[in-house]
Amino acid sequence: MNKLYIILAQTVQAYHACIKSNNREWKLRHAERLGALVREHMPSGAGIDSGTSFNLDKSNAEKLVFETKSAYMMAGRIIQ
C-alpha cells in the first residue's frame, strides 16, 4: 500500500490535470477523495480547533499544503 503523502500527491496532480482538460466530473471526484483522506487521517481535536483542511490551490504533486487553526493554554488563558 502506498504512503498517504504519495496518494495525496497523485490525487492533487490528477485534480490539476482535470482543471487543464476541463473535466469537471473527475475534478470533483478528486476533490472529494482528498477531503475524505484529510478527514480520515489528519489531526482534529486536542488543540486543533477546526480540524485540518487541505489547500488545493496552493498544493501540487511536489508540495502538499495543510491548514489548521489551533488554540493552547498559557497561564490559564486560551491563546488562538
Residue 75 CA to residue 69 CA, distance in Å, equals: 20
Of the chain, the percentage scoring pLDDT greater than 70 comes to 75
Q: What is the mean pLDDT of residues 46-74?
A: 77
Residue 59 CA to residue 65 CA, distance in Å, equals: 5
Q: What is the mean pLDDT of residues 59-74?
A: 79
Give pLDDT, residue 53: 83
Which of the pair, 38 or 45, is modelled with greater confidence?
Answer: 38
pTM: 0.76
* 78's grid cell: 486560551
* 67's grid cell: 491548514
Instruction: Tell me what the pLDDT averaged over the chain comes to.
Output: 84
Q: Are 30 and 18 in contact (CB under 8 A)?
A: yes
* 19's grid cell: 482543471
